[in-house]
Structure 1
Amino acid sequence: MTQLLVGLVQTENEAIIMLNKLKEAGLEAEAMGIVAKEHLDLDLISEKVGLDKPLKGAGTDGAFGVFKGVLAALGKRMDQTISAGKAVRRLAGNEIGGETDDLVLTLAEAGIAEEDAQYYEQWLLQDHFLIVVECSEEDAAHIAPIVKGEDA
């Protein structure tokens, strides 16, 4: 059975360190990813650890993206997520903050407890990062300490 583990890091450097430790532990790049608020730049992180190019989600590019940018500047649009890595593709473009429960529902559908999902949303709103790992129950035993930051 597949397990979903979520790690919390505050900085780009912490994210790079955790993702590299996960790779050193034998985790494939396809099994991990990173999520942040849309305005944060995940390009450097994804490049340094070998993740897919960051995704902003549907509708964030082109003419509609410009319109969404104008709405954001006017305070009419919620923040959105950006993600890098195959394990977190569905998390790109989720709205966070305010009255929305977009991210919380997506995480709950993936098996995350709603209370935890709400906490993760608040973490992202503080301009921090989520590291998400999809692994087997067997791998979870040795991966969990890294994701929880207990391996130091």
Structure 2
Amino acid sequence: MKKLFLSLMLLAVLMLPVQSWGVGTVTQTIGYTHNFYTITYSWTADVADGSVPATASKWPISGYIVKVITNPGATAPTDNYDITLTNSDGIDVVHGELANRDTSTSEEIVPVPSNNVTVYGGSAVAGIITLNITNNSVNSATGTVTVIFERAGY
């Protein structure tokens, strides 16, 4: 009986690291071309529940978001999954334009400056933005979100 108990305890200890590997992940890269910078978030949903962790940008933005491109990966997320890019006040800086993303094709948006304006041209941002992906239920779904911005004052 003692050997059985010890064997079960050993098995439980060995299984702990395996369970933590299933957590959703997001990695980031930054690029630069002329006056435009890009932050690309590559994400993989959790293997158990399809969730993706909210992820703050490693680099602050000081400028205007001029375009955001979304690309579902090889394991497509749930149809009409949603993305927000929030500032430190929790405000979606692209004003809901990344809602209802497609599962089979890349999509892009050019953000409007605010909810009440129909003029396109960019959304001013000063600081860290956080990527939030919701309404996905596909385990291990993948995708990328590329935020293109023009730096202010350059």
TM-score, reference length from structure 2: 0.27
Which is bigger in relative contact order (C-alpha 8 A, separation at least 6)? 1
Q: Name the larger-Rg structure.
A: 2
More strand as a share of residues: 2
TM-score, reference length from structure 1: 0.27
